[in-house]
Amino acid sequence: MNFEESRLDKRIKRIYGKLIPQSMIEIALRNKDILVNGKRAKASDQVTEEDEIFVHPFVSKRFADVYCHKREKIIDYSRFKEQFKNIIIYEDKNLIIINKPPGLAVQLGTKTRLAVDVMAKAYNPEARLAHRIDKDTSGLSILAKNIETSRYMTYAFKNKEIKKSYLALVSGKLPMIEGRINRPLLRHKDKVIIDFENGREAITEFKTIKNISKNRTLILAFPLTGRTHQIRVHLASIDCPILGDLKYGGLNFKHLCLHSYEIEFFDIRGKKIKLKAKTPEYFLRS
């Protein structure tokens, strides 16, 4: 997760598209159709992804419609309902957990015409993201079906009560069978860099699963913090970039070989949830 601050109105436009009129956002805020952590907010308020931003389903649909209309093409998202159902691997009255395919963004934006959030709302208008992974990362992603669960999950992530592991196929051999990378990260333009002076704490543990070949290794990575691109940057920093990760020095491949593989936590009712997402075939064929 990315905990860097930005204005609330800019965050809304990042989610729904820069073409959303400022006036629509202001009206929704005045009408309490957009809340931050359950409270009324202003467009200029600073928020991070730790904050729960609630957008009324009606307003969310209007934002999506306006965005698509301004792009001169109305998209009927309801047709993606069945497609979304096919990637659900767990559902109860509070949660939906999906196995996201690579290349599918989790949030609608100016450069994306389809995303998990709008597909989910076609399936359940109350659904909202509780866990975000990169567009090119595959695997487990969590959605909440009500605001109470969304707030609970935000709290659980913030307090490191959710165990996550990722499968990564890297170039080269790791310097040890298992270990820990503790290197602070800082966003710089469109990348994330290691910066010991200004960066924020970032810790990733790893364990070798299998040496595929002389120059390729399958590992499990355990992010103990939630920084943007954390696993990708950390593995690249020990000369083991992820296959397909051209941004951070990985070898060219048709997919980014990073997969949100397993998640374990106690839900809002105290029930233990432990799930694994099937490994993509290209991990095994590479």
The encoded tokens of residue 71 equal: 């792009």
Look up 134 and say whether it is catalytic. Answer: yes
Helix (H, G, I), strand (E, B) or coil at 55: strand
Name the nearest CA neighbour of 283 among 133, 135, 169: 169
Q: Which residue among 51, 134, 195, 267 is the active-site one?
A: 134
Alpha-carbon Rg of the chain, whole angstroms? 19
Q: Where are the beta strands (DSSP E) in the chain?
A: 6-7, 34-36, 39-40, 46-47, 53-55, 88-91, 95-100, 128-129, 138-144, 163-171, 178-182, 185-188, 191-194, 203-213, 216-223, 258-266, 272-276
Tokens (6 digits) for 230? 């954390």
Q: Is the dihedral of CA 119, 121, 123, 126 positive or negative?
A: positive
Exposure string over 78-101, b if 16+ CB within 10 A, otherwise e: eebeeebeebeeeeeebbbbbbbe
Per DSSP, the residues of 213-261 read ETTEEEEEEEESS--TTHHHHHHHHTT-PBTT-GGGTPPP-SS--EEEE
Catalytic positions, written as ranges: 134
